[in-house]
Amino acid sequence: LPFCFFLYFNHYFPIDYSPSPLDVLAMTTKTLESRFEHLSVKDENVSNNSCGTYAKNKGSLSTAVSLSGLGTTAQLNNGANRSNLLKLALQNTNDNKVNSINVSSSPAKGTLSHRNVDENGDQRQPSLYDQPAPKKLHLGMFEIGKPLGKGKFGRVYLAKERSSGFVCALKVLHKSELQQGGVQKQVRREIEIQSNLRHPNVLRLYGHFQDSKRIFLILEFAGRGELYKHLRKEHRFPEWKAAQYIAQMAAALKYLHKKHVMHRDIKPENILVGIHGEIKISDFGWSVHAPNNRRQTMCGTLDYLPPEMLKPGSQDNYYSEKVDLWSLGVLTYEFLVGEAPFEDTPVMTQRRIARADMTVPSFVSPEAKDLIKRLLVLDPEKRISLDEIQKHPWILKHCLKDDRVTKRSSGSSKEVETAAKLRRDGHNVVLVSSGAVGVGLRRMDVEERPKSLPRIQALAAVGQCRLMSLWDGLFSHLRLPVAQVLLTRNDIADRTQYVNAQNTFSQLFDMGVIPIVNENDTIAVSEIKFGDNDTLSAITAAMVKADYLFLMTDVDCLYTANPRHNPNASPIEVVSDISSLEADVSSAGSSLGTGGMSTKIVAAKLGTSAGVTTIITKSSKPGNVHEIVKYLQQVKQEENAPIPMNGAVTEVPPLHTRFLPSDHPVQSRTFWLLHGLKPHGTIFIDYGAYSALQKKASLLPAGVVGVDGHFAQQEAVRLVVVQRLSPDSLNGDFLHHGQEPKEVGRALVNYGSLEIERIKGHRSTQIQTLLGYADSEYVALRENISFFQQDDPPLR
């Protein structure tokens, strides 16, 4: 998601980015583990046949008979809940003994504690038993919020750890109900298995504790709730979304099977959606740790049961982890069709499963149909493997092309965290974002960018919703409100609208809101587009009187030569005169947004002319922005100190190029005239008129020597100075008469091009006679004329 950041001190200031969890989430997870890592478990040998099948109840929040009776369902179904999300942070202050609970199904010999392994199962930390013991966990440590879901044996609540503000889901199970249901051992097994799992697409179990009546499970908070509800709302998922979900499921199951864990109850009700839209497998009640990969218990949900579980003589019938592959095939079908493939009466469902009796509708693509048929194979050994699923054409078609996008999207959370840090430091921040059309293409599963303008605008409208949803989700996680501001050049062409936009930004800052600016591609056409994201960011920076504009690109800074080809290229740290800049500005640019290094140089000219310090730094390191701001503040404090503070600034900032602002920045209205408006034509004036204009006079018809283009009254035009032509060459081409025209500024005209052509070179008193009316004695009023700075050529 390419975007622009604006950071501000006393006022405000912008950043341009060419756009996993948040860094704060990653740091929090580690500190959270340090608090919960010492919870030990005692193993028990339990029988493997204490399970039974149960029917799926799609109308309820949980299944009819869940072995733990509860999933973290319906976790965040409306915007009101999002206000409960707090920044994740948890300090390790535990120093007491280990809290333990008996659990069943001990892991295989050599199984590492969850602190000792990464998501690939590799050892990385000393055993948890070598660590100091934490304090005993208890309910008083948590502030309990609203209920998130309800199951047969308990409920799930939104919770916050009081000392740190860490947000989680607290699953409360009543011991008496567990005993009555005969599922104590299964709950113990669920705890044992889930607490040892570490994967982005598997719901985390951070820890657990108990009192005399209840067992409490501290679970990861999945902010968007149950996937089943999303599926029911959409009826069926578009293929791009289904493919991405199945790809995530395949990655999670591959991890589970590597750990010798069979889930055995894959279905939409047991899959949650995280705050960033990623899916997370939950509810490990039917799961089992089987080092020999063989089990014989029939369990799970009937619609998803594989045929090997339904064969008679189950005592002699063993199955493997490939049961999850069958369930994955059923899940794929349900994602694309909206219902399970074998859904019928219980008896007929079993018969249809035993025969693999199903038909894939014609609206499902051939690639998706192929994957479903290769998963729903009666012989488990002939089912497609998880490795093959990840390489299947249907998966690659919808996931591989977004690989670069995914990396950028995952990185956008880092930019959000950077913006949050700057807000906490007292700075106002504006983001300038782009990419709505690209997001709309993916959202609507369109392969190629259409040529039809209405079609492109429609895709932009779809993409804008998705973009803002992503930004809102990321910022809501940190309890920071955002607002969308859509702009086109026409929106700032009118002076009143320009001032209204300034006032809107001011009010948003007063309210503590972070504005996210997008060019309104829904209505924009070539005549009213800014042209690139960098130009929009510079104009916005000037509009809000920013202190700093950050333009993010794929290199650390500008160099004296292309560093990719010349190892002797030196970084350019400070630029005081952009017009004299001679550097290699080649850049890969952005495939999703617009604007390479050349547009950033243009944006820097715009920004510095308005008094905005403009900085170029690397987009893959958004944390640089915070460090650079901190460094510049220290430098400014040292410069303004009444007593010299030699050596006070000792930190070396990250590599960047800083463009110093002009010593004589233009005023807001002047900037608007020069750069906020797109010129529709040209008026040629002589040097006498130019000299008078510099002395604050207005432009008279007598000073006009030529007109080019077609424009209307009150539209912007270029002012170009030429020598006075002879009467017989007034209608000639200036460029072919030895003239050296020089564009000196812009103006809003009182007459259109046809009228000015008739009154040029005449006295003002003749306007009435020549036109039949006289709206003004001037072609342009001085207040509507602005000149470029000396030796600073126009930018367009």
Number of Cβ within a 10 Å radius of residue 485? 18
Q: Any known ligand binding at 216? A: no
Phi, psi of 281 (to 5 degrees): -70, 130
Beta strands in 245-361 (DSSP E): 261-262, 271-273, 279-281, 288-289, 300-301
Angstrom distance (rounded) from CA 208 to CA 218: 6
* DSSP structural state of residue 235: S
**509 assigned binding-site residue:** no
283 known ligand binder: yes
Tally of residues, the chain: 796
Residues β-bridged to residue 719 = 683, 745
CB within 8 A of 134, min separation 6: which ones? 35, 36, 37, 38, 92, 94, 95, 96, 98, 99
- C-alpha span between 218 and 161 (Å, rounded): 10
Q: For residues 607 and 548, is the Cβ–Cβ distance under 8 A?
A: no
d(CA 518, CA 461): 12
Q: Could you tell me where the beta strands, DSSP code E, fall in 733-777?
A: 742-748
> Whose CA is closest to 784, among 740, 750, 742, 739?
750
User: Quick one: tokens of 692?
Assistant: 């008078």
Picking from 598, 603, 537, 466, the residue whose alpha carbon sits closest to that of residue 1 is 466
Asked if 207 contacts 137 with a C-beta cutoff of 8 angstroms, the reply is yes
CB atoms within 10 A of CB 789: 14
Torsion on CA atoms 398, 399, 401, 406, rounded to nearest 10: 140
Question: Does 222 belong to an annotated binding site?
Answer: yes
Between strands 288-289 and 428-433, the pairing is unpaired
Spatial contact of 222 and 282, defined as CB atoms under 8 Å apart: yes
Q: List phi, psi (to 5°) of 206.
A: -75, -35
CB 281 within 8 A of CB 250: no
Q: Which residue has the tokens 């950041």?
A: 5
Contact between residue 55 and residue 346 where contact means Cβ atoms under 8 Å apart: yes
What is the largest distance, in Å, between two alpha-carbon atoms of the chain?
110
As annotated, the active-site residues are 265
Distance, C-alpha 31 to centroid of its chain? 25
Contact 262, 327 (CB under 8 A): no
Q: Is 270 annotated as a binding residue?
A: yes
Cα(401)–Cα(630) distance, rounded to whole angstroms? Answer: 38
d(CA 223, CA 82): 8
Compute the distance between CA of residue 417 and CA of residue 312 in angstroms, rounded to an integer: 56
* CA gap 321, 318 in Å, rounded: 11
Tokens 């080019």 locate to 708
CA distance 192 to 471: 36
Task: Tell me whether residue 102 is annotated as binding.
Answer: no
Binding residues for ATP: 152, 171, 220-222, 269-270, 283
